Amino acid sequence: MTEVPSKLVDLGHADGHPPMPRTWPARIANILGVVTPLAGVIVATILLWGVAFNWVYLVLLAGMYLATGFGITVGYHRLFTHKSFDTPRPVAFIIGALGSMAAQGSILQWAGMHRQHHQHSDGEHDPHTPHASGDGVLGVLRGLWHAHVGWIVSRGKRVQDRYITDLRQDRIVRVHSRLFPVWVVVGLALPAVLGGLLTLSWLGVLLGFLWAGLVRIFLVHHVTWSVNSVCHFWGTRPFRSHDESRNNVIFGILALGEGWHNNHHAFPTSARHGLRWWQIDLSYLLIRGLALVGLARNVRTPSPERLAAKRSS
């Protein structure tokens, strides 16, 4: 992997500002807005069990969720964007393909936007801060909507080349970014084919496509976007980061370790986001597993001295 200037990946903020007040009604509205759709999917799967959903589609859904989710968290985020570890190029190619199947944009688009977010975290030029839409309940709701999904369709979100000059020199990144639509199609076709083969029916093709294709994309998107919205609004701040990034235990688990967001903003180049023994970080466990078999090296984690220096008093 091409080395990236440290100022782009190890900069937690560029716009200092005082902490913003939080009210319980706003927090409750935030949680309801995020949890309700997820609960709806869970209820739907229960009601459809034995009718249009069973163990075959549950395994396909879970498998594709983990594969493409790790493609984002381990690949797009910790490998390509922050260079928190190194891996042989065939492994980088596979992880990049899985991340592309998550349908969250190409590596260049995703990494560029995320680096901009870090450089201007919760400031004027942060592309998806929830704290720039005014005060009061309506301002909070507008901000959360913008951070969760509104920023994707808003104007002026073009990735600036200065954030991704190093990635443009990486052939794997260029190839994957060029073939991004192809990988999205593969990510939809693969569970459809598997559903058909496992059930030996055309209905299995359709249900594999629906559950492990479309529903899986919805879940991965919703959980990933919740890191932008929920984890800059609700949770704990054990480390100084000069922004509103927060650790949230719900999305620490659902987002495969990404929800320990204050930890990440305090130590952006760390491959480990769950910095305490009880902070479950499945993405870091995968990276450690790769390291144990020689497929990951130079795994970066903060020293005890750095942890102590940044801990909130």
Q: Which residues contact 195 (CB under 8 A, 6 or more apart)?
A: 56, 57, 60, 204, 205, 206, 207, 208, 209, 211, 212
Residue pair 121/127 in contact (Cβ under 8 Å)? The answer is: no
**pTM (two decimals):** 0.88
3-state DSSP assignment of residue 100:
helix
Cα 83 to the center of its chain, rounded Å: 15
Are 267 and 258 spatial neighbours (Cβ–Cβ below 8 Å)?
no
Nearest in space to 87 (alpha carbons), one of 302, 296, 304: 296
**The dihedral formed by the CA atoms of 127, 131, 136 and 138, expressed in degrees to the nearest 10:** 20
Residues contacting 111, CB < 8 A, separation 6+ = 76, 80, 81, 163, 164, 167
Give, for all 313 residues of the chain, the pLDDT tens digit.
544 454 554 544 444 444 444 455 555 655 565 567 677 788 888 889 999 999 999 999 999 999 999 999 999 999 999 999 999 999 999 999 999 999 999 999 999 999 999 999 988 888 888 887 767 777 878 888 888 888 887 755 667 788 999 999 999 999 999 999 999 999 999 999 999 999 999 999 999 999 999 999 999 999 999 999 999 988 999 999 889 999 999 999 999 999 999 999 999 999 999 999 999 999 999 999 999 999 999 999 999 999 999 998 6
CA distances 34 to 129, 213, 227, Å, are 16, 21, 11
Distance CA 256, CA 70 (A): 7
- The three-class DSSP label of residue 294 is coil
- The first and second tokens of residue 10, run together, are 């190890």
Backbone angles phi, psi at 277, to 5 degrees: -60, -30
The CA–CA distances, whole Å, from 268 to 45, 57, 78, 271, 275 equal: 37, 36, 9, 8, 12
Q: Please, is 130 exposed, middle or buried when counting C-beta atoms within 10 Å of its C-beta (0-12, 13-18, 19+)?
A: buried
